[in-house]
Amino acid sequence: MIKVLIVDDEPIAQDIMETYVSKIPDVQLVGKCRNALEAFQAINKEEVHLLLLDINMPEITGMDFVKTLKSPPLVIFTTAYSEYAIESYELNAVDYLLKPVSFERFLKAINKAQDILNHQQTSQQAVAAPDNIIFIKADNKLVRIDLKQLWFAEGLKDYVQLWTEGGKKIIHSTMKNLEDCLAPYNNFVRVQKSYIVNLEYISEVDGNSIRIKNQSIPIGSMYKEQVTTLLNKHRLV
């Protein structure tokens, strides 16, 4: 069951989204909010898996609201403006729907969210494996990955490529999904929207890039401060 929260300052838009949600099995509406403040309160009270979030709202935009959340639910942006699409995907949005939204387009977005939630559940089960070991699904079988041998992960749209001592492995997942999976292990850090690196394998940092083995990995502007703070903990001079 996907638990959905609608956040939109337009009553008509709220009603349309509510009608769409009611048509889909295994999707439950847990509330409707007119602004980010109401949404924040709702998230603290209810379990929410997915936000149907407008962008242009009074006081705090939908974009800024997502940035304030430490562990945001999945987000589908719903808006009348196309110019925020690129920024929305930098926030790992599931989808970006332009109003007026057809039911067919809405259903496609919900199916994408369902796929991501299913992968997250699988990854959470994998995290239970002991001693820095996870199991990934590759080539229709479960493959063991020793996280001590994982150099870095590279996002490839709907897939993630794992660079390891034993070669490359490609899994059907998202970077957000993998980031959540690796959260219990302190030596992994996201340095760019398409890269998560193992701190143990960083050989040098040159400006806005990291060197691991013979690979140069860019540091994204959104992650620069976090990466610098982590590296400074191990800095001698």
Give residue 40's pLDDT: 93
Q: What is the dihedral of CA 12, 18, 19, 23, to 10 degrees?
A: 160
**Do 28 and 100 have their domain in common?**
yes
Q: Which residues contact 175 (CB under 8 A, 6 or more apart)?
A: 92, 153, 155, 160, 190, 193, 194, 196
The alpha-helical segments, DSSP class H, found in the chain are 11-22, 36-45, 62-68, 85-90, 103-127, 175-182, 224-232
pLDDT of 29 > 90? The answer is: yes
Number of domains making up the chain: 2
pLDDT digits (tens, 9 = 90+) for 86-116: 888 888 899 999 999 999 999 999 999 998 8
Q: In whole angstroms, give the CA distance from residue 223 to residue 230.
A: 11
Q: Which of 118, 109, 119, 94 is nearest to 1 (CA)?
A: 118
Higher per-residue pLDDT: 52 or 83: 52
**Do 114 and 144 have their domain in common?**
no
Q: What percentage of the chain carries pLDDT values higher than 70?
A: 93
Q: In whole angstroms, give the CA distance from residue 134 to residue 197.
A: 16
Q: Does 237 map to a domain?
A: no
Higher per-residue pLDDT: 184 or 40: 40
pTM exceeding the 0.85 threshold for the entire prediction: no
**Do 7 and 32 have their domain in common?**
yes
What is the pLDDT averaged over residues 53-62?
92
* Lookup: tokens for 187: 């030596």
Give residue 194's pLDDT: 93
- Which of 122, 155, 188 is the endpoint of a domain? 122
Give residue 108's pLDDT: 95
What is the rounded average pLDDT for all residues in the chain? 88
Give residue 35's pLDDT: 94
Taking CA 190 as the corner, what is the angle to CA 169 and CA 45, rounded to the nearest 5 degrees?
110
Domain containing residue 106: 2-122
- Which of 93, 122, 151 is the endpoint of a domain? 122
The strand pair at 95-98 and 74-79 is best described as parallel
- The SS3 assignment for 197 reads strand
Q: Does 76 map to a domain?
A: yes
Q: In whole angstroms, give the CA distance from residue 36 to residue 60.
A: 6
CATH number at residue 141: 2.40.50.1020
Give residue 222's pLDDT: 87
Which uninterrupted H or E stretch holds 103?
helix 103-127
**Do 79 and 27 have their domain in common?**
yes
Residue 129 pLDDT level (bands cut at 50, 70, 90): very low
Higher per-residue pLDDT: 226 or 2: 2
**Do 79 and 20 have their domain in common?**
yes
**Do 41 and 150 have their domain in common?**
no
DSSP class of 119 = H
What is the pLDDT averaged over residues 149-172?
90
What is the pLDDT averaged over residues 75-82?
93
Q: Does 44 map to a domain?
A: yes
- Which of 95, 122, 149 is the endpoint of a domain? 122
Residue 234 pLDDT level (bands cut at 50, 70, 90): low
CATH number at residue 56: 3.40.50.2300
Residue 237 pLDDT level (bands cut at 50, 70, 90): low
pLDDT digits (tens, 9 = 90+) for 169-209: 888 888 888 888 888 887 889 999 999 999 999 998 888 99
Residue 18 pLDDT level (bands cut at 50, 70, 90): very high
